Chain A
Amino acid sequence: MTEELPNLEGAVCHPPLPHGEQIVMGHGAGGRMSHQLIQKAFLPAFRNPALSAGNDAALVMPDGRQRLSISTDAHVVSPLFFPGGDIGRLAVCGTVNDVAMLGAKPLYLTAGFILEEGLPMETLQRVIESMQAAAEEAGVQIVAGDTKVVQKGKADGLYIATAGVGVVREGVDLGGANARAGDAVILSGTIGDHGIAVLGARGELGFQSSIQSDVAPLNHLIEAMLDASPNIHVLRDPTRGGLATTLNEIAAQSNVGILLDERTLPVHPQVAAACEMLGFDPLYIANEGKVVCILPREEAEKVLAVMRNTRYGEGAVIIGEVTAEPKGRVLLKTAIGSTRVVDMLAGEMLPRIC
């Protein structure tokens, strides 16, 4: 080895890339880049109170009396079919869940289809049947739709955008801004199943798993929860960006802190193993059939008991509590007894090198 010294002075790096000039994949990952896109591009143009509330569904009162919950969701998942679900079931459940998170009973959906030239009719038929099955399970009707076809190569088989409307039940007041210090945080089951199932189905993992997506309509579960306690403060489904991003959104909207206990976080062993191999954190991986519930501590056991008696809530656990400080941040008490911050997903989730 040579004795020559490296230049240790003036060690420097290069200026940043704000990605303000063009859309990159990170803008669609559901994390901070998505939020910035909404803040900078959409909100200034469309600004209105229902949109600015920042929830997954909008609460509107057209006649000044009846509260409606409206939401929309576009689906571009690849592959179209994956263990535990498909793009059709996803398109129905995604919108049903968003509508239900404000305490509404979802009633009607619409569906817009963008089809790529050459898509096998049989594929479309399977997706439609799956949508109908999911709609029946949720108890909603798909009452309007639209179809467009684009040239071969201009889409990836099939995209679906759905919109939904529901009637908010009397006596509840739900929203991301309603979390209060002292509240308990309940999660309905394991995290990361959907993201890992889809990644596995792409054949990019290099190993096999039997993980199934958790995609499911949660409206019946939520109905049962609100029957047990109309005093629930927040309901939200941690989809893209994962549990970490959802909790950060709530902490910011409610101006509170959230403290999680790492030992209570439910993660399927195969999801944990896949994450260890790939350098992912289950806290940032998408779910499509889970709900976070924030409610007064004294109501938690009652609601938990009801959840555990349902199909999609049997794995429900308390994962943490709402704190007064630090405002807008999510903290996690690690298994070995230290505390760290859990940030929002930044841009696109990238696997680490080693």
Chain B
Amino acid sequence: MTNSLLEVRDLRTDFLLKSGRLRVVDGVSLTVEPGQALAIVGESGSGKSITMRSVMRVLPKTARIAGGSVRLDGRELTELPERQMRQVRGRQIGMVFQNAMEALNPTLTLERQLTEHLSWHGICGKAEARRRAIETLGDVGIPEPEKRIRTYPFQLSGGMRQRAMIAMAMVARPSLLIADEPTTAVDVTVQRQILDLLAEFKARGTGIVMITHDLGVARYFCDDAVVMYAGRIVERAPVRELLARPSHPYSTGLFRSTIEVGGRDRALAPIPGAPPDLAQRPPGCAFHPRCERAESVCRENEQMLLPLTVNGVSRGTSGRPGAVREAACWKVAAHG
């Protein structure tokens, strides 16, 4: 069997608090192939960012990976010595953040920020690094890159800054790009451009993990999606299937609470309540207090993530090979 680009199995990450360990990522598994994009969808606090930061092992001081496996091109990352892990970051995995204004250092020129990791990783010399940085700035659609490379982040417009940050992530040509809400902080007009830009890198073979709470963004260019709630995956499906026929009540709720252009006929229905405090995780299915379909079984026991089947035939994968459709819900399983 050939290796996937990224293969995460049963990943668990804890926050070490004074009161004890708090599991914020609980048994997450996901796969990304080259040239494919996976959306991780969920509300803030659902553990989607921490999942991907665990993959890169760039975690807050108080967070620890408690178990599971992360394989990049077949190589296990969770046990890699820090020294070798540094070579993975920035070189094999690039990361794009929500707000370029914050993710770019305000006091350093673009040149310095785009080239420094090329020399950290010993990829090339200074002159070559500069050449590559200019080339990448051009790739992301920044006009006059030879001139712009000398500027500071604050001298760029919001959209250009976002592009520059993507260039910083892509300059070392990583095979996997993690994009953490890359369109949340920019204008709607810029959003589309940023997504198109990411789609270009995808078309060239980069695997992308898109962390988002916006289903529209997920639909625009992701192939598969996982929905996270309270640190766990509650549904996994090809994006189109997920949007057409969400099966987990939480996914349905997310979909119904999203404002969409052209969706005027559809009434907006926000999910009642708030995501649970992980320190006081509800027993049974974590979503049951907010779920309109909850029954006694949901309050007592938790359902595993199970494939959706109709009469033993897996359902809703559009027939694409490798596509999986799973949900963790008693009600769905009962209907399947």
Whether chain B is bound by chain A comes out as: no
A residues near B, CB below 8 A? none
B residues near A, CB below 8 A? none
